[in-house]
Structure 1
Amino acid sequence: MTQHHPCDGTRRRLLKGATTTALMSLMPGTFLSFPAAARPGPDFNQPLPPGIVEEGSNVYDFRVHRLASTDGQRHYRITVAIPKKTPPEAGYTPIYLLDGNAALATLDEQHLKAMDTATPPVLVALGYDTDARFDVEARQWDYTPKRTDQPPIVNDRHPERRGGGADDFIKLLDDTIMAEAERDLPINTSRRAIWGHSFGGLFVLHTLFTRPSLFDHWYAASPSLSWNGYQVVAEAGRFQWPSDQPGSALLMRGDAELQNRGPYSNGGSDKEINDQLRGLAQQMDRLSGFEARFEVLEGMGHGAALARSLKLTLSDISGATLTSPA
């Protein structure tokens, strides 16, 4: 699909210590609706129905880029959603969405119009070239870091799902994807943001702790902290934010995620895991020039936290108002 006009940029607003309820006052009359907690999770094996890209939008244009990994083993479909509003003087905020197929599938025209009434961001959906919601093997490789002193965790039920390629994907993102996605767009280069869920949340944190100059605002939902013996937690202990630029992070997790335990669950109770994430946010919040907070997604299991955290993120970025779940 082809690009039309670049559009309205976004101002960054991470409200330190704010809650979903507090965010509801930002812009009356604008709503991003969330699914109910009891809603069943998606069937990852079923092809996705036509969505906002195929159906088109009155407020966003779309362009699609396809490329392969350096080793030719993974194939990506990068969808750039560009608002039709006139961009602000500073350019717009791009937000990069991991698991781009699933991310786009959670959004509809109502959500795009809600952001359009505020300050809509450019959405860069980092998807895989498949009709499915996820490419589970590719995402596990791309989103999980490696550690030389310990072999990566192996899922006994799915030994074909290998991990350890996060640094390669960071390089591809930095060297190729970002330049292509932002080509010919007026971008505010001091306001780049990234969102990810589960392994995607792990990738967000690993990138923050090892390549903090790549983005300015970081959204990590339900991150798989226990990967490689809590490797990312050790990285957090060595993390320093560059002093010449402001930054922020929002960590999110549902309070009912242990209802669906998987082979990479962090262990412990929901409260223990959420306390761990809250402590990580507090640790980062003490750094000069950096703000961080933790948000509990009430009533959300692991799957439901994807959609809720994404819409909370887009509301935070755009200034559009959220509503509580039904």
Structure 2
Amino acid sequence: MTRQGKVGPDHAAEEAALRLFQTGAVTHELSQKVVAEGPGHRLFVATPKGPAPARGWPVLYMLDGNAAFDFLTPGDLAMAPGLAIVGIGYDTDRQFARERRTLDFTAPDGLGDGLRPDHVHPGRMAGGAAIFHDRLVGPLRAAAEAGLSVDPARRTLWGHSFGGLFTLYALLARPGGFARYAAISPSIWWDEALINRIARDARPASVPLLMALGDREKRSGSDGPPPDGPAPATMQFIETLRRHPGHRAQVHVLPGHAHIQTLAGSFPLVLPFAGA
């Protein structure tokens, strides 16, 4: 696997080698813990070495933590020596828990508890984002920050793909959980009408948002060559945000990046963003 990851659709079945925990890092102490909450989660924590500042460390929460920490390198951590990083993963040896992330990272439809069959992936359930958000800012955050000096005013949420979709949902529908948000290659296509409606209905806010996507992205398993340009649905969503008072995303198009490659490709952008 290259630094940016496999391009083909089999990347979702990759084992998480987590070499970072074998090599270690000059700038951070590394630890893992399992939390028996919901489906069971693994937390991956990189804590800056040395004494914490008086206000505590800024902290970056990364969804799909198994994959995020599989792609993180000591060089990445060296770009942000004063930033704590927490990977929120699932209790699996794979990079991605596909069924769980589909359920946890997709928005409810506003009917009943919002849960429903996934209209894209037969056999999966969807719509559990509100439930997962409560778990994330409640017991998972408490477990991650136990013994860690954190500045509550500098918590950032990062997500890629379905995780990026959840990040936008969290910003727009459940504001206040984090101070900054970074949505990378968000899966706007999954229910374009729903996420645009959530954006239109959101209260005005002035919360920093970083968005990044590649110009060679296509859905895993889809036919044809990669497109030449960023996803139109995502660019249209960005325009929807721009028409909404207070929401002004900083947007980066990553040249030559396919979908999986934007995960690690976002690190040079998001690490300084979260550490500021």
Q: TM-score, normalised by structure 1?
A: 0.73
Counterparts in 2 of 1:50 and 1:203: CA distance versus 1, 3 Å: closer
Q: Which moved more, 1:124-133 or 1:145-154?
A: 145-154
What is the aligned counterpart of 1:115 among 65, 80, 94? 80
Matched pairs, number? 267
The separation in 1 between residues aligned to 2:193 and 2:248, in whole angstroms, is 23
State whether residues 251 and 277 of structure 1, in contact with CA within 8 Å, keep that contact through their aligned partners in structure 2.
no
Structure 2 match to 1:273: 233
What is the aligned counterpart of 1:253 among 213, 219, 224? 213
Counterparts in 2 of 1:46 and 1:197: CA distance versus 1, 3 Å: closer
Structure 1 match to 2:13: 45
By how many angstroms is 1:235 displaced? 0.8
The separation in 2 between residues aligned to 1:140 and 1:262, in whole angstroms, is 18
Within 5 Å, give how 1:62-81 maps onto structure 2: 62-70=30-38, 74-81=39-46
Task: Please tell me the residue identity of whatever aligns with 2:25.
Answer: S
Task: Please tell me the residue identity of whatever aligns with 1:115.
Answer: A
Cα shift readout 1:243-267 (whole Å, capped 9, x = no counterpart):
xxx620011111111375659xxx9
What is the aligned counterpart of 1:89 among 36, 54, 59? 54
State whether residues 252 and 296 of structure 1, in contact with CA within 8 Å, keep that contact through their aligned partners in structure 2.
yes
What percent of counterpart residues are identical?
30
2:162 is aligned with 1:199: yes
Structure 1 match to 2:198: 235
State whether residues 260 and 301 of structure 1, in contact with CA within 8 Å, keep that contact through their aligned partners in structure 2.
no
What is the aligned counterpart of 2:249 among 274, 287, 292? 292
Task: Please tell me the residue identity of whatever aligns with 1:63.
Answer: S
Structure 1 match to 2:129: 166
State whether residues 189 and 233 of structure 2, in contact with CA within 8 Å, keep that contact through their aligned partners in structure 1.
no
Tell me: higher relative CO, structure 1 or 2? Use CA pairs within 8 A at least 6 residues apart. Answer: 1
Task: Please tell me the residue identity of whatever aligns with 1:279.
Answer: E
What is the aligned counterpart of 1:187 among 119, 130, 150? 150
Residue segments in structure 2 that go unaligned for 5+ positions in a row: none
Task: Please tell me the residue identity of whatever aligns with 1:256.
Answer: R
2:192 is aligned with 1:226: no
Counterparts in 2 of 1:85 and 1:227: CA distance versus 1, 3 Å: same
The separation in 2 between residues aligned to 1:306 and 1:198, in whole angstroms, is 8
Counterparts in 2 of 1:179 and 1:275: CA distance versus 1, 3 Å: same
For 1:133, what is the secondary structure of its paired residue?
Answer: coil
